[in-house]
């Protein structure tokens, strides 16, 4: 595979899976101590990657789960954020300024803070009540954060008696690192073609629904915009039909991400509409990837992880095709803002 270290990938994703039992114990402890809700926060891309886990709880648990914008919580307080809250703060660097700034306020409130970081010796690596460290870099962080946040959500469901067959589900998830590596291998040729399509246009509408919508949002904002300076319009597949469809013509690139959860018909609707109006529809479907040993109910949970791991291969080819390294920035962490 192009510019890819298989051993490094396996080490990082296996590291995320290895945190599962401790995550389970911490969540159990928080619930036993009387926790009444959970906030999934973070900043930028790391915050977006928390959305599938939050959505899982919002739709399958009576335990209140909130997402909010960290920078706004600095300015506008939430009555739901109390000393009975669990707060999940992810930051790969452990130094993200908006999350670091909010940490002290959360501490004042008395909420229990779970930090997910790549580096221990950082403000967030030292500042959480429960710190989970798994080194990763930009090309491997999606899967790691998705897995850790999914384990948090599943632990809530499990310890509240809201998750049937919890042990089977968790055992299946432990197989995921090796299966994700096979996804990458199987998709390499198609990824190069997908990258060619992305490189051929300077503007893309990117859409999806259900638990893969955050991955559409993330890939447009954090990869194509931040790392490639390509203009995008991420839009939820439902909202696509309330404005954005008017931007579609035969030369407009439309990228559709499809998951395997109950929101899939919303993506099907876009897929049915688009070919009549654009010659540039590209579909990435989690259902197309083989995941031996993964049951249908677990496949629905891991669709965003599967798409993220396939898209990393797309990004690896894209930076070469465009001669634009993914690490190149003009402003991000380079100028004052």
Each residue's pLDDT tens digit, 40-64: 999 999 999 999 999 999 999 999 9
- Residues forming beta bridges with residue 233, ordered by sequence position: 205
What is the SS3 assignment for 230?
coil
How far are the Cα atoms of 173, 176, 264, 324 from residue 301, in angstroms, in the given order? 10, 12, 13, 33
Count of CB atoms situated within 10 Å of the CB of 22: 12
Beta strand 85-91 with 130-133 is unpaired
pLDDT averaged over the chain? 97
Helix extents (H) in 200-250: 213-218
Eight-state DSSP code of residue 259:
-
What is the SS3 assignment for 19?
coil
Look at residue 227 in the predicted model and tell me its pLDDT.
98
Look at residue 277 in the predicted model and tell me its pLDDT.
98
What is the SS3 assignment for 258?
strand
Look at residue 274 in the predicted model and tell me its pLDDT.
98
Look at residue 171 in the predicted model and tell me its pLDDT.
96
Look at residue 89 in the predicted model and tell me its pLDDT.
98
- Residues forming beta bridges with residue 205, ordered by sequence position: 233, 254
Q: Per residue in 245-289, pLDDT tens?
A: 999 999 999 999 999 999 999 999 999 999 999 999 999 999 999
Hey, what are 18's tokens? 């290895």
What domains can be seen in the chain, in order of their start residue? 6-173 (3.40.50.10490), 188-321 (3.40.50.10490)
Residues 6+ apart with CB under 8 A from 108: none
Eight-state DSSP code of residue 330:
S
pTM of the model: 0.97
Local mean pLDDT, 10-residue blocks, the chain (337 residues): 97 98 98 98 98 98 98 94 98 96 94 98 97 96 98 98 96 98 98 98 98 98 98 98 98 98 98 98 98 98 98 98 97 92
Hey, what are 15's tokens? 């590291």
Hey, what are 123's tokens? 């403000």
């Amino acid at each position: 595979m192009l510019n890819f270290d298989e051993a490094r990938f396996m080490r990082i994703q296996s590291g995320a899976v290895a945190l599962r039992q401790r995550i389970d114990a911490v969540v159990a402890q928080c619930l036993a101590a009387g926790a009444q809700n959970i906030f999934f926060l973070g900043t930028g891309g790391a915050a977006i990657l928390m959305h599938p886990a939050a959505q899982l709880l919002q739709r399958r648990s009576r335990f209140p789960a909130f997402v909010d914008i960290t920078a706004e919580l600095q300015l506008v307080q939430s009555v739901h954020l109390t000393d009975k809250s669990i707060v999940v703060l992810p930051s790969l660097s452990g130094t993200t300024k908006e999350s670091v700034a909010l940490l002290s306020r959360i501490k004042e409130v008395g909420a229990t803070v779970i930090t997910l970081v790549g580096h221990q010796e950082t403000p967030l690596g030292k500042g959480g009540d429960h710190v989970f460290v798994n080194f990763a870099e930009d090309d491997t962080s999606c899967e790691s954060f998705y897995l850790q946040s999914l384990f948090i959500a599943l632990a809530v469901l499990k310890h509240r008696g809201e998750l049937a067959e919890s042990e089977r589900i968790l055992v299946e998830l432990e197989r995921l690192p090796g299966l994700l590596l096979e996804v990458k291998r199987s998709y390499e040729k198609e990824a190069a073609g997908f990258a060619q399509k992305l490189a051929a246009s300077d503007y893309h509408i990117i859409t999806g629904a259900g638990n893969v919508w955050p991955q559409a949002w993330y890939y447009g904002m954090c990869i194509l915009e931040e790392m490639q300076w390509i203009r995008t319009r991420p839009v939820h597949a439902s909202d696509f039909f309330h404005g954005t469809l008017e931007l579609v013509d035969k030369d407009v690139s439309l990228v559709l991400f499809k998951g395997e959860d109950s929101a899939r018909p919303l993506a099907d609707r876009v897929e049915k509409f688009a070919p009549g109006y654009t010659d540039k529809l590209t579909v990435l479907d989690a259902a197309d990837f083989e995941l031996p040993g993964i049951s249908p109910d677990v496949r629905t949970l891991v669709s965003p992880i599967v798409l993220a791991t396939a898209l990393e291969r797309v990004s690896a080819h894209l930076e070469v095709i465009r001669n634009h390294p993914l690490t190149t920035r003009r402003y991000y962490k380079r100028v004052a803002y």
